[in-house]
């Protein structure tokens, strides 16, 4: 599947209605305003997830394919959607975030990305440029400039409540050189394209949802959700 996705990059790039650049202007995407205008509700639900502590799985525990870039418990993820699949537990924990995400046309995946103090994610790149990726920061370390991401020849640090939209098929690297946790809502949205590019992306997404890679991650996430549900009930974070 990766070979197929890499092979489609030139076609997608030719059909794209936004430039092939590492970082986009957020104003190019109408849905950025939707995210930023709902940031306080998203923040409160993200911090509720953060309070689940050790019950939240590390990224590679949900998606073993990530072991090439992370193998410890300092990069945790709480999935809201994965390749279009949502979960009742995510909606119970984060109803306003889920509702906001559902209002974004072309949203395919979303999760709270929790980066512990001292975590370094080495250089890597995404496998498909049919999506654009967005970070909505909801918890930024006080020494913000020491928690940063480098992509291509650009480096930036997150600003609370301000979206960063980028093409993750450019090589990128992340450092949290602070003693505080960073939390962003990470979202993948279908790239603005002409009809042929959109059709190809929808077809590949349809196939991708059924691959062993996605189905394994879906099963793993369900396992960890059972653990998180217990922790949420212990803290009276759920209504039932």
31-66 pLDDT, tens per residue? 999 999 999 999 999 999 999 999 999 999 999 999
Res 240: pLDDT:
57
Among 132, 179, 135, which residue's Cα sits nearest to residue 158? Answer: 135
Could you tell me which residues are beta bridge partners of residue 150?
A: 155, 173
CA distance 12 to 234: 47
Q: How far apart are the first and last CA of the chain?
A: 41
pTM of the entire predicted model: 0.95
CA distance 100 to 16: 25
80-125 pLDDT, tens per residue? 999 999 999 999 999 999 999 999 999 999 999 999 999 999 999 9
125 inside domain:
yes
24 inside domain:
yes
60 inside domain:
yes
157 inside domain:
yes
29 inside domain:
yes
Domain extent for 74: 18-190+201-234
Confidence of residue 238 (pLDDT cuts 50, 70, 90): confident
SS (H, E, C) 72-138: CCCEEEEEEEECCEECHHHHHHCHHHHHHHHCCCCEEEEEEEEECCCCEEEEECCCCCCEEEEEEEE
CA distance 65 to 5: 16
171-180 pLDDT, tens per residue? 999 999 999 9
CATH of the domain at 171: 2.60.120.330
9 inside domain:
no
In the chain, how many domains are there? Answer: 1
Helices 95-102 and 39-50 cross at an angle (nearest 10°) of: 130
């Amino acid at each position: 599947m990766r070979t197929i996705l890499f092979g489609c990059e030139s076609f997608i790039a030719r059909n794209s209605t936004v430039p092939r650049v590492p970082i986009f202007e957020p104003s190019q995407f109408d849905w950025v305003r939707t995210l930023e205008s709902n940031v306080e509700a998203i923040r409160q639900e993200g911090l509720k997830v953060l309070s689940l502590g050790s019950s939240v799985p590390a990224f590679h525990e949900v998606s073993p394919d990530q072991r090439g870039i992370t193998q410890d418990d300092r990069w945790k993820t709480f999935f809201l959607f994965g390749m279009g699949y949502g979960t009742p537990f995510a909606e119970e924990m984060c109803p306003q975030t889920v509702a906001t995400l559902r209002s974004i046309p072309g949203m395919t995946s979303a999760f709270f990305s929790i980066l512990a103090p001292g975590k370094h994610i080495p250089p890597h790149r995404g496998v498909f440029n049919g999506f654009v990726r967005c970070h909505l920061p909801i918890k930024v370390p006080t020494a913000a400039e020491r928690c940063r991401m480098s992509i291509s020849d650009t480096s930036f640090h997150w600003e609370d409540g301000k979206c960063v939209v980028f093409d993750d098929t450019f090589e990128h690297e992340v450092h949290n050189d602070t003693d505080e946790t960073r939390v962003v809502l990470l979202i993948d949205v279908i790239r603005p394209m002409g009809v042929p590019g959109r059709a190809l992306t929808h077809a590949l997404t349809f196939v991708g949802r059924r691959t062993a890679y996605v189905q394994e991650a879906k099963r793993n996430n369900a396992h960890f959700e059972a653990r998180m549900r217990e922790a949420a009930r212990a803290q009276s974070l759920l209504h039932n």
